[in-house]
Structures are given as structure tokens and as C-alpha cells.
Chain A
Amino acid sequence: MSPALEIIVPLRNPGAELAPTVASLVSQTDHDFSVLLCDNFLATGFEPVAAAQKQIAAAGIAVRCVKPPFELRRIEHWNWAHAESRAEWLKPLPSGGALKPAYVQQLKQRISERPQAQLVRCGLESEPASGGAQAPPARASLTPAEFLEYFPARVEWIAGSVNMAYRRTAWLAAGGYCPQLPGCASLNLNIILALHHGLENVPETLAIPATDQPISLNASDITRVNLPLELWLVLRQARNFCLAAKLPWTKKRLLPAGIVAGMGRRKRRIYGR
């Protein structure tokens, strides 16, 4: 029988940063979930992966390790790893990211309270304590139209993957992360799903992002990203969806001021070598 929740950890040559990720899984108060470690043709880091698998299994959590048929690029690998899961709920967890011990318990509680939920977000440790204009801390659920009230004034609260969980059907129907948007792939997917299905918001801070670098570039592939341009492309797609779905869209969102507002605290606009 497929598990109800699978936590997906895409791996590419992991180092010491995998340890806190695994420790956070083992320390969950609810162990009724499984873990999928996806190895994208490791060149290094075999020991951390083997140790992770052993540690997770020792905690009584079902764990399996899979590998794509050929080496994939970073976002392609995310997509493939998600598609490998058969669980009803998928939760991506990048190596280096971590979950607070109550994450699984609170996620399951929210899913049981809201059986129609397709997308669940929780608070992220790096967010300013006030929340304010960013996340909707007081709102437990947002309809697609309500989601637009918080977007894209600031997008950071919805831009990551470490604090998101997806119902598998919704993820499959959306197709997954967009490889053409390497800097905003998670943001793009989260927006598509929120505009389709609305969003469940768990206000507690239950996820900790990887802190090594703000944008994780694939050294073998992507060499630079332009975040304002990506955000503009994300917004163009969102606008297209809103027009088709008859959701309230204002043209201001695509103006430069809207893009700058959406960039939020990310002062550095172009990353690359």
C-alpha cells in the first residue's frame, strides 16, 4: 500500500549538509511517513547517503533510494524524483533544508481537517518574525482569489520548496517544476497550484531552508540566473492563467514596480559566474 506522505530528498554529491536534514527527519514526532532519497548519479558523497539511509531506517521510517536512468539536470531531477513517488502527499526537502519535529504531525492534522487541500505551506524560519506584508499569518486557508491579495507584493513566503507539500494528483496534473525557470521553479509551481486550488497555510514556523546560498545553481548546467526576468515570466504565466480562469488580475503586477516589489529582500538580482 502506498504511504500517505513521502518526503523526497533529491541528492547530488551531498556533503555534511545532509546530516541536519536527516536528523530533522529522524526527530519527527510522527514517524508515519516514508523517505525517498534520489541519487542523481553521485560522483561524491556516497558515505553521507549510505549513512542517511541507515539512520532513517534505524528510526523505523521507511526509506528507499532511487536513481534516474541517466543523469539529469537539477530541476529535471526534482521532477523525476517526485514522479517516482506513489504517496498521496509529496513533500520536497532539499539537502541542507530541515523540518522542525512537529512538521509531519501538523501537516497531517491540517490535511485531515481540510480533506480538499492540495497545497500546504508552513512558516519558514528565515522569514521576518512580523510576517506583515509577506505571509498571511492569520489566514488558515486561502482561495485562489484571496491568494492574489498577497501576491505578488512580496513572493518570498511562497518562493521555496522546503516549506511546501503537494497532493500527488495536483503535482502530476501541473506537470512539475519548470526547467526553464531555474531560479524561480518552486515559486512558479507554488503559484500555479495556489491559483488552481488555493492554499492551506500553517502559520507555525516548521521549516528551515538551506543556508549555503540563496540560489542553488547546478555547477554542470546553469551558470547564471536573472531573477527579475524570471519573476516577469512567472507573472506572465500567472496572468495567463488568471485570465483563463477569470480570476482578478491587475496589469500593475507586470509593471517594473510590481517586479521590484516581488523581489523583496533579494537585493542581488543576477546570480552567476
Chain B
Amino acid sequence: MNTLEIILPLRNPTVVLDQTAKSLAAQHDRRFSILISDNYSTKGREFIDGAVAEFQKAGITVRRVQPPVELGRVEHWNWAHHQAETEWLKPVFAGDWLDLEFVAKLRAGITAHPACRYVFSPYVLHRSNTEPQTVTSVWAGKFREPAEMENHVLSLGMQFGPPSAAAYERTAFVAAGGYPTPLPICADSLLFCALAARFGVLGLAEPLCHFNIHDARFSTNLGEKRKDTFRENITYLFMLGYHAWTRRVAFSKPGFARLLARETRSYLSKK
């Protein structure tokens, strides 16, 4: 792993950005740079200035960029990723934070597994008024080959956590077509499942990322978009299943049917 850039796509950030910035500035391994992409914020610019100052104080290289025109949410993620020119990319969203050894553990994992192009970490979920909840994954703790993951993602679906828990090689991200913009709710699900099935995945052993469902976050209102979420889930799972069919991948058809049934049951049970 030669170079790493941490990408912060921002749009009207709030005070929650402070904790994100502090966690990055305090990383034990500081061999990374930071790219802040501001998608035409109309408020909260003082928090962006504060984050830049925090990084500069910590001696971390930071760049500020802005798309030529205002972009949609997922479009902005893609654009920001394409502005990075390092070998590895790591998105972090405002409000999320990383434990101090995240970068060090990421670097150690990639060095130990040179074939690895996609890494995720278990994470701690923070919601207002509830206790933090650690979310681990069946794939945490080791590197799994693409042949194994091709089958697994079609039986278990998205088990990789949010984008802030992920890091990937730039080539892999670009080749995979980035975050699919027509699926704004499940864009990360399709990308991460596709990356794992294509390149394999390294799951870090410990939860090193904190996923904060704060008030300004898109995910906060997902409960009201259950129908949209279900529709997108079914679409991305069919896309994964279809892609495996085109390549004659031997995957468990009953396992895939059970996965679709679980999604449907989950949607109907809360309807």
C-alpha cells in the first residue's frame, strides 16, 4: 500500500464534522492525505474551515476541491473519488469517526494480503437516545478470495457496513463503475458486494469505525423510505444474481432465493 487518500464528501456540514476531523488528525499512522470535496455548501462552511485547520495542525496534507457544478448526493461521492490520485481511497462521511489505529490496521492488513483490493471494518452504530451497538460481520477477521465471496454475497447480501467502514484500491473502484447513482439508497450495497465478488475482501477483525446516524444524515429518514429501500434492494440483488449468471458462476440458487425471500419478508413484516 503506497498511498492513501481519505475522502470527505461534504454538503452543509454541521458540528458533527468536528469529531470526524479530530479522529482523522489523531490517527497513529499519518501516512495519508485528505481530500475535502464541498458540494456547494450554503451553510456550515466554518466547520469545513475548522477541519482543514485541524488537519494542517496535525501535519496532514489536505486539499479542498469543488465540483464544477452542484451534483446530486451519490454523484458527488463519485466525482470526489475520481479527484483522488492515490493508490487507495477511503471515504469518511461527516459525523462518522475512526478509531485511532484504523489507518495503521488498514495498512497492516493490505501489506499482509497483497491481492487485496477492498477492505472493510466492523463498526459501532450510534443513534441518538440509544446505546451504541457493535455490528460485526461473518466475514470479519480474514481475507476471503473472490471465488468464495461470489457465492457468499448471493446468499447473505450486504454485510460490509457503511462507506466510512470501507477502503478500496482506486483501480478497483474506477473499474467497478463507482457508486450507482440510480440506486441512491443501496448504492454502497451494490458497489461493496460487487467489489467483494470481483476482488475478494479483507474484513478487519475489530470494529474501528463509528457510524453515526445524526439528524442531518440521509440515512436518518430511511425508515420513511421503506418501499424505496425494498425496491432498490431487490434491484441490486437481481443485478448481482444476473451478473453471476452471465459468468456461469456456480452459486447456490436456493440460497439466493432465501436471500430475496428474507428481504421481502422483512419489508412485509414492518409494513
Residues of A within 8 A of B (CB): 68-70, 72-73, 75-77, 79-80, 83, 169, 172-182, 192, 196, 221-226, 229-230, 233, 236-238, 240-241, 243-244
Contacts and interface: CB of A to CB of B under 8 A. Distances in A.
A222 B81 CA distance: 28
A80 B82 CA distance: 11
B67 A169 contact: yes
11 contacts: A172-B78, A173-B67, A173-B75, A174-B75, A174-B78, A177-B177, A179-B176, A179-B243, A180-B239, A233-B238, A241-B182
Interface in B142-174: 171, 174
B36 interface: no
B71 A173 contact: yes
Contact of B246 (A77, A174, A177, A223): A223
Given A176-B178, A179-B175, A244 B184 contact: yes
B194 interface: yes
Contact of B177 (A68, A169, A179, A238): A179
Most buried by A among B72, B177, B194, B231: B177
Contact of A80 (B171, B198, B232): B171
A61 B72 CA distance: 36
Contacts of A229: 242
B67 to A, nearest CB: 7
Contact of B182 (A77, A169, A192, A224): A192
B179 A175 contact: yes
B78 A169 contact: no
A181 B239 contact: yes
Given A79-B174, A175-B181, A238-B182, A233 B247 contact: no
What are the 4 closest A-B residue pairs judged by CB atoms, nearest first? A175-B178, A76-B175, A173-B75, A237-B182
A238 to B, nearest CB: 7
Most buried by B among A68, A172, A181, A223: A172
Given A173-B71, A180-B239, A222-B247, A80 B174 contact: yes
Interface string B166-205: 0000010011111111111000001000100010000000
Interface residues of B, number: 38
B79 A240 contact: no
B184 A175 contact: no
A230 B245 CA distance: 12
Contacts of B71: 173
Contacts of A175: 78, 177-181
Most buried by B among A70, A75, A177, A236: A236
Main secondary structure of the interface of B (DSSP, over half): helix
Given A79-B175, A174-B78, 7 more contacts: A73-B175, A77-B175, A79-B177, A179-B198, A236-B231, A240-B182, A240-B232
B125 interface: no
Interface in B190-236: 190, 194, 198, 228, 231-232, 235
Contact of A178 (B72, B171, B177, B184): B177
Contacts of B175: 68, 72-73, 76-77, 79-80, 179
A213 to B, nearest CB: 16
Contacts of A72: 171, 175
Contacts of A179: 175-177, 194, 198, 243
Contact of A76 (B67, B68, B176, B183): B176
A216 to B, nearest CB: 13
A91 B134 CA distance: 47
Contacts of A230: 242
A271 to B, nearest CB: 10
Nearest to B241: A180
Contacts of A192: 181-182
Contact of A233 (B176, B228, B235): B235
B171 A224 contact: no
Contacts of B179: 175
A223 B246 CA distance: 6
B79 A172 contact: yes
A9 B180 CA distance: 24
A229 B246 CA distance: 11
Contacts of B243: 179-182
B76 interface: yes
B240 interface: yes
Nearest to B182: A237
A56 B241 CA distance: 42
B248 interface: yes
Contacts of A240: 182-183, 228, 231-232, 235
